[in-house]
Amino acid sequence: MKTVKDLIRTIPDFPHEGIMFRDVTTLFGDARGFRMAIDQLLHPYAGTAIDRVAGLEARGFILGGALAHQLSVGFVPIRKKGKLPGRTIEQGYKLEYGEAIMEVHDDALQPGEKVLLVDDLLATGGTAEAGIKLIERLGAEVVGCAFVIDLPELGGRARLENLGMQVHALCAFEGA
């Protein structure tokens, strides 16, 4: 029986030489694999009160929508600056070579709501940390951070755990 990790394609030297790109579109395209990933992402949170699922752009939207559907809760997109049409709050974060900004609608969450943050990949943790800060600035609480892939050597898990976050990943790949 195939695992989630078995269904993830690795593309060498993309987007540039030396990078091993972990492509989850092959997982998403496999009906059984996609269902398995959604079930496994939800498993650690069985019995946890969750009011919303927040997904990080862009593959976190695919996963987050499916998770929100399974939980019968709303979905909140956290997007790159300039992509949301309403009033937003923003949070900057550092990239390997530069900086970026994530945004969320200023009315997307209510104080006290319990939120599961989701994305396909955990690398350095910068994008996830920006998402956590946005959620917390709206007065909501992150009950967990769920990822399909962890790249442990890049330190994202430790970064999020140092923020007090519960981190769950379905598989890990060595060699970013």
Active site residues: 59, 96
Cβ-based burial of 53 (10 A; exposed 0-12, middle 13-18, buried ≥19): buried
Residue 79 to residue 89: CA distance in whole angstroms: 11
Residues listed for the chain: 176
Buried/exposed 70-91: b ≥16 CB within 10 Å, e otherwise: ebebebbbbbeeeebeeebebb
Question: Between β-strands 20-23 and 98-105, what pairing exists: parallel, antiparallel or unpaired?
Answer: unpaired
Residue 58 to residue 118: CA distance in whole angstroms: 11
Q: What are φ and ψ of residue 39, in 5° steps? A: -60, -45
Helix, strand, coil fractions of the chain, as percent rounded to 5: 30, 35, 35
